Structure formats: C-alpha cells, structure tokens
C-alpha cells in the first residue's frame, strides 16, 4: 500500500466532513496525472463529487489528459480556498482515474445541478446533449484524502 504521508501539525487537519464540504462548495480544482512520457500533467477542471469518487467531463479528442489517463490511472486532485486574511483550507485527493463514457447522463445532471442556475437548466440540457458525441467522462475513485487548515495570526 502507498504511504501518502501525514500532516505534521495535527491541529491543522481538516476532518472528513470539513474536507468533503470544501470539495462540495469548490467550483474547480486541479487534476494531476502521470503523463505517458513520465512527466506530470496538471489541468484545472470543473468537477462534481459522487460519494467517494469525483466525476469530470472532457473532450473525447485524444489529448494529453486522455493519453495520461489511459497510460497510468494514478492521479491526485487538489482544491483550496483562501480568505482575504490569507487563512486557507485545502484538500488533496489521491486515487485512480479512468474513462466511464456510460456515466455521461449522471455527470451532466450533476454538473447542471452544481453550475447552472435553475432558470437556465432546460437550455443547458439541450445544448449539452448536442455536444455529447464530442465529450467523455472521467471518474476518479478516491483512495486517500488529506485536508488541511492554515490560520494566519
């Protein structure tokens, strides 16, 4: 089993409830994967959480992200928030990513619920269905989560 390390200052640890709360209110985060050439590749992504997994959608065109997902499923995902006084919360997730094109309807419904104001949801559904042939879904199964709070004096 992989050792993901521990937060040294235990008073900074965000518990699971606070960590999942940060994930649920975050608009985007950074998905990092191992590229097929051995270099890391990180890309900002919108996402939704479905229990202990994250759901993403992306272009189905074979770019570096899909090449990386297909060559090595290991990934991390990071979200963070910082207030004007530089206090911050962050969550880093580690897991396995893979394509799941059959999850399209679930992913899109969850995206619409999270990102689209209610009065525009019907139009969003129509437009998104038109783009379905050019997109795919990526799922990250969460293996480890580490949440941290840093408070400035």
Both tokens of residue 95?
Answer: 């897991």
Task: Give the DSSP letter string of 30-85.
Answer: EEEEE-TTS-EEEEEEE-EEETTEEEEEEESS--HHHHHHHH--EEEEEEEEE-TT
**Taking the domains of the chain in order of start, what are their residue ranges?**
10-150
Topology classification of domain 10-150: Pnp Oxidase; Chain A (2.30.110)
Please indicate whether residue 49 or residue 101 has the higher confidence score (pLDDT): 49
3-state secondary structure of 125: helix
Tens digits of residue pLDDT in 53-85: 999 988 877 889 999 999 988 999 999 998 888
Write down the mean pLDDT value for the chain: 88
- Considering the chain, what percentage of its residues have pLDDT values greater than 90? 53
* Residues 6+ away with beta carbon under 8 Å from 6: none
150 pLDDT band, cuts 50/70/90, is: confident
């Amino acid at each position: 089993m992989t050792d993901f390390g521990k937060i040294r200052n235990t008073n900074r640890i965000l518990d699971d409830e606070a960590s999942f709360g940060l994930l649920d209110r975050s608009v985007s985060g950074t998905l990092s994967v191992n590229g097929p050439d051995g270099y890391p590749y990180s890309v900002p992504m919108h996402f939704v959480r479905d229990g202990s997994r994250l759901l993403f959608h992306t272009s189905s065109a074979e770019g570096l992200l899909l090449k990386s997902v297909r060559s090595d499923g290991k990934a991390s995902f990071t979200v963070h928030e910082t207030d004007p006084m530089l206090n911050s919360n962050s969550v880093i997730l580690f897991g396995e990513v893979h394509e799941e094109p059959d999850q399209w309807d679930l992913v899109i419904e969850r995206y619409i619920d999270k990102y689209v104001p209610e009065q525009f949801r019907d139009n969003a559904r129509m437009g998104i269905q038109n783009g379905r042939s050019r997109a795919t879904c990526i799922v990250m199964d969460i293996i480890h989560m580490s949440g941290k709070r840093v408070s400035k004096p």
